[in-house]
Amino acid sequence: MKAPVIAVFAGGTSSEREVSSGSGTACALGLSRSFTTRLLPVVADALPEGYDPALHVVFSTLHGTFGEDGGMQRLIEAAGGVYAGCGVDASRLTMDKSETKRTVAALGVPVADGLVFDAASKPSPLDVERTLGVRVVVKPNNEGSSVGLRIVGDREGLASALAGVTPGRWIVERRIDGTELSVGVLGGRAMGVVEIRPNSGVYDYASKYTKGTTEYLAPAPIGDAATAAVKAAAETAFSACGCRDYARIDFILSPDGVPFLLEINTLPGMKETSLLPMSARCAGLDFAALVREMVAPAVERFRSGLASRQT
């Protein structure tokens, strides 16, 4: 049976287009070591030119809206195509931070207390202070890459953060001091835990994408018990949200060893130096091996569908 061509979708229309383009280039190169591969730029909220669902398995590196939220996945399914990664429902769910927290908390994964609001009806600083205190985090409910993230430590900062919210849905949650961690999940199993140490103390957009501003420790030097707790929480969260194939899951580890979930990234950054590849290297997978394993279940789904159509 003829092997499919891997179509790497990259770019997109979200605020994370530049990050996606870098991920797509790296993944196309890595996948080309195992598969015939094409890099297809996405320039609109539509299937890209050159995509053929009868020929291609999609490996999407689109980040943010209409990439990570299930929009593109829905179009691929409507065209009868096959893609790697989480399905439409899990993608939509995990793009919504508040719904993700509610879902995983129901299965015992710790989450920070918080409030969700629309910018048009945002709470007053006093309301937030009464409920959560002034040491909080304010961020968009449906964005990635720490877009719009504000770390607040006093009343003036809280008032400024709330005054600066733009239209859309937002979340404000109690700030948890601790160690920031990330773990990749592949086929439902957690890989290595990575510790993130931003020089500024805040892992915001600049700290993520400016060279030399953040130190990464892989594996994280947090001890066996904490490592096991983080991995167990990651696997529970992955399953609870109906994820498949792969994801990256981020936590804050409190001083007493409790892993609080921050978010689930179903289409995380995928340069060779990104967090998911770092996690994979802890488990003995180099970049080419990682992307091969990430797309392998979709290749099998493609072959199974083709076989059923030919019988």
The catalytic site residues sit at 16, 145, 209, 248, 250, 263, 265, 269
- Going by C-alpha positions, the residue among 160, 169, 79 that lies closest to residue 122 is 169
205 exposure class (CB count in 10 Å sphere: 0-12, 13-18, 19+): middle
Give the integer Cα–Cα distance in Å for 263 and 142: 11
- Going by C-alpha positions, the residue among 125, 118, 184 that lies closest to residue 158 is 125
The C-alpha angle with vertex 61 and arms to 56 and 65, in degrees rounded to 5, equals 115
Chain Cα centroid distance, residue 309: 34
Give the integer Cα–Cα distance in Å for 221 and 228: 12
Half-sphere exposure of 180 (CA within 13 A, CB side): 17
Tokens of 256: 């007493």
Please report which helix (H) or strand (E) contains residue 102, including its range.
helix 97-105
Tokens of 1: 């049976």
SS3 call for 251:
strand
- The number of beta carbons lying within 10 Å of the beta carbon of residue 207 is 18
SS3 call for 23:
helix
- The residue assigned the tokens 């978010």 is 263
- The number of beta carbons lying within 10 Å of the beta carbon of residue 191 is 27
The answer to whether 287 touches 30, Cβ cutoff 8 Å, is yes
